[in-house]
A and B are shown apart, each in its own frame.
Chain A
Amino acid sequence: MNPQLEIQLIAIFIATACALPGVFLVLRKMTMMSDSISHTTLLGIVLAFFIVHDLSSPFLVVGAAAMGVITVWLTESLHKTKLVSEDSSIGIVFPLLFSIAVILISKYAGSVHLDSDSVLEGDLVSAPFYRLELFGVSIGAKYIYISLFYLILNIVLIAVFFKELKVSAFDPMLASVLGFSPILLHYGLMSLVSITAVGAFEAVGSILVIAFMAGPPVTAYLLTDDLKKMLFISGGMGALNAVLGFQLARFFDVSISGAMAVMTGVTFLIVFIFAPQRGLISIALRRKRQKLSFGMLNLLIHLLSHENSEYETREAEHCSLANHLHWHEGYARKIVDKLIIEKLIVVENGILKLTDTGRTYTSNEYSKIFNN
Chain B
Amino acid sequence: MMDILSRLNNYTTIVVALGAAVLGMISGVIGSYSVIRKQSLIGDGVSHSALPGVVLAFMMTGNKSTEVLLLGALVAGILAAGFIIGIVKNSRIKFDSALALVMSVFFGTGLVLLSIVQKTPDSAQAGLSRFIFGQVSAILKRDVYIMTIVSAVLILLVILFWKEFKLFSFDPEYAHTLGFKPMRLNLLLMLMTVFTIIIGLQTVGVILMSAMLIAPGVAARQWTDRLWLMIVLSAVFGAGAGVIGAFSSSLAEKLPTGPAIVVVISIIVLISILIAPNRGLISKALRRRKSKKGWLEKGVKGGDII
Flag A88-118 by CB within 8 Å of B: 1 or 0 each. Answer: 1011101110111011001100100000110
Main secondary structure of the interface of B (DSSP, over half): helix
Tell me the B247-296 residues at the A interface (CB within 8 Å).
253-256, 258-260, 262-263, 266, 269, 273, 279-281
How long is the Cα–Cα vector from A191 to B109 in the complex, in angstroms?
Answer: 29
Binds B, one of A231-239, A250-258, A304-312, A351-359: A250-258
Contact B100 A34 (CB under 8 A): yes
* Interface presence of B159 (CB below 8 A): no
B-contacting residues, A309-367, CB 8 Å: none
Q: By the criterion CB–CB under 8 Å, are B96 and A87 in contact?
A: yes
Question: How many residues of chain A are within 8 Å of chain B by beta carbon?
Answer: 64
Assembly CA distance A107 to B107 (angstroms): 29
Q: Restricting to B109-156, which residues have a CB under 8 Å from any CB of A?
A: 109-112, 114-116, 119, 129, 133
The contact of A29 among B43, B94, B109, B263, by CB within 8 Å, is B94
Taking a contact as CB atoms under 8 Å apart, the answer to whether B273 and A259 are in contact is no
Docked-complex contact A264 and B108, CB < 8 angstroms: yes
Indicate if the CB atoms of B218 and A29 lie closer than 8 Å. Answer: no
A280 and B106 alpha carbons, distance in the complex (Å): 21
Which bucket holds chain B's interface residue count? 35 or more
A192 interfacial by beta-carbon distance below 8 Å: no
* B18: interface (CB < 8 Å): no
* A268 pairs with B105, CB closer than 8 A: yes
Q: Does B9 interact with chain A (Cβ within 8 Å)? A: no
* Contact B218 A88, beta carbon cutoff 8 Å: yes
Interface centre among A100, A217, A265 (most CB of B within 10 A): A265
Asked if B157 is at the interface of the complex by the 8 Å CB criterion, the answer is no
Residue of A94, A100, A259 near B259 (CB, 8 A) is A100
Measured CB to CB, the nearest residue on chain A to B114 is A255
Contact residues in A for B213 (Cβ distance below 8 Å): 91
The stretch among B67-75, B186-194, B204-212, B229-237 that forms the contact with chain A is: B204-212
Residues from chain A with a CB closer than 8 A to the CB of B253 are: 107
CB neighbours (8 Å) of B96 from chain A are 29-32, 87
Q: Indicate which residue in A120, A121, A261 contacts B109 across the interface (CB closer than 8 Å).
A: A261
A contact residues around B221 at 8 Å (CB): 83
Alpha-carbon distance between A205 and B112 when the two chains are bound, in angstroms: 13
Tell me whether A215 is interfacial, beta carbon within 8 Å: yes
Least CB distance from A169 to B in Å reads 13
| B273 and A84 contact, CB distance less than 8 A | yes
State whether the Cβ of A132 lies closer than 8 Å to any Cβ in chain B. Answer: no
Q: Is A158 an interface residue (CB 8 A)?
A: no
Q: Which of B104, B254, B256, B262 contacts A95 (CB 8 A)?
A: B262
CA distance A106 to B106 in the complex (A): 29
Chain A residue at smallest Cβ distance from B281: A81
Q: Which of B19-27, B34-42, B172-180 contacts A (4 or more CB under 8 A)?
A: B34-42
Compute how far the CA of A215 lies from the CA of B119 in the bound complex, rounded to whole angstroms.
29
Whether B273 pairs with A83 at a CB distance below 8 angstroms is: yes
- Residues of A contacting B218 with CB < 8 Å? 84, 88, 92
- On whether the beta carbons of B112 and A259 are closer than 8 Å, the reply is yes
Tell me whether B103 is interfacial, beta carbon within 8 Å: yes
Q: Which of B105, B110, B217, B266 is A96 in contact with, Cβ under 8 Å?
A: B266
Given contacts A85-B35, A207-B48, A210-B100, contact A260 B255 (CB under 8 A): no
When distances are taken between beta carbons in the complex, the residues of chain B under 8 Å from A31 are 94, 96-97, 99-101
Decide yes or no whether A55 CB sits under 8 A from chain B: no
Interface status of B79 (Cβ within 8 A of chain A)? no
Q: Does A208 contact B (CB under 8 A)?
A: yes
Residue A67, interface by CB 8 Å: no
Can you name 5 A-B residue pairings with CB atoms under 8 Å? A31-B94, A31-B97, A83-B279, A85-B38, A87-B41
* Chain A to chain B: the 5 pairs with minimum beta-carbon distance, closest first: A261-B108, A258-B111, A265-B105, A99-B259, A211-B104
